[in-house]
Amino acid sequence: MYDDSIPYENVRINSGMAIIRLKDNHVTERFMYKYLISPQFIEYLNEIQSGSAQPQINLTNLKEARFAIPPLKTQQKTVQYLEQLSQKTETLKQVQTEKMESLKALKASILDRAFRGEI
């Protein structure tokens, strides 16, 4: 499971990849996915990672990692909230892009009129 709206420029793929399988139905895949890409988990990984040239978490550390998992209803609400927030963020980015394009066009128009002596 992956979310193609997340930038992957910092992802490194090598032969040491692992698949995380959930053992029971007390955690949803979407919640675990959101948790694993969260700034808090990334910070945790930075604290326990090994290696110097290309820091990485080893499988032993990953196997020993413990997670505080909230009840299913809380997980579902959290995922829903994060997805709504993500959607709103994307909408704001689109509006910002449109506004910037509009401002660039307005600036070009004003400069063009100024150079022609119309202002």
Q: Tens of pLDDT along 3-58?
A: 555 555 555 566 667 777 777 778 888 998 888 888 888 788 777 766 555 556 67
pTM of the model: 0.60
Domain ranges (residues) in the chain:
1-69, 83-119
Q: Report the mean per-residue pLDDT for the chain.
A: 81
Q: CA triplet 44, 47, 49: central angle to 5 degrees?
A: 100
CB-based contacts of 55, cutoff 8 Å, min separation 6: 46, 49
H helix count then E strand count, the chain: 4, 0
